[in-house]
């Protein structure tokens, strides 16, 4: 296991967050993400916030339709499993998954799902101790 990062200036936590953010930025260009968004398109409608015509996307959880800014592409199986980090191999495999593991969620449904995952993570972490 490596112990020195950036000549000792970085902790492992800083290094991990650096790698995570680099991966996240690459995942913005991962084609299945756009295939997933395209599949959720439901046509142009008036965006009630702006009053302008905008493409709408259907949330896979509540089935309501939202403009692009209000939806997120979610990994059905979380990138880091609720049981905890295992390896970067696993993180990369989960992050750059195929379209069948991706879904469009509105911000509210995505928050709800993230909260549930956060609670499960805590429970697993506490159970391990």
Whether residue 101 contacts residue 77, with contact meaning beta carbons closer than 8 Å, is answered with: yes
Is 47 one of the binding residues for Zn ion (CB under 5 A)? no
Q: Out of 46, 62, 86, 116, point to the residue binding Zn ion (CB under 5 A).
A: 62
In terms of CB distance, is 35 or 61 closer to Zn ion? 61
In terms of CB distance, is 14 or 107 closer to Zn ion? 107
Least distance CB 61 / Zn ion (angstroms): 5
**The three-state (H, E, C) secondary structure of 19-57, written as one string:** HHHHHHHHHCCCHHHHHHHHHCEEEEEECCCCCCEEEEE
Is 27 one of the binding residues for Zn ion (CB under 5 A)? no
Least distance CB 101 / Zn ion (angstroms): 18
Q: 């968004």: which residue's tokens?
A: 37
The H or E element that residue 61 is part of is none
Positions in the binding site for Zn ion (CB under 5 A)? 59, 61-62, 106, 109
């Amino acid at each position: 296991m490596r112990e020195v990062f950036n000549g000792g200036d970085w902790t492992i936590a800083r290094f991990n967050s650096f790698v995570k953010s680099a991966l996240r930025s690459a995942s913005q260009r991962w084609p299945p993400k756009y295939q997933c968004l395209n599949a959720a398109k439901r046509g142009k409608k008036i965006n009630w916030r702006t009053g302008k015509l905008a493409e709408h996307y259907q949330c896979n959880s509540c089935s309501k339709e939202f403009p692009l800014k209000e939806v997120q592409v979610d990994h059905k199986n979380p990138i880091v499993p609720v049981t905890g980090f295992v390896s970067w191999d696993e993180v990369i495999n989960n992050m750059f998954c195929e379209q069948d593991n991706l879904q469009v969620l509105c911000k509210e449904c995505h928050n709800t799902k993230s909260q549930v995952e956060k609670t499960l993570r805590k429970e697993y972490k506490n159970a391990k101790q």
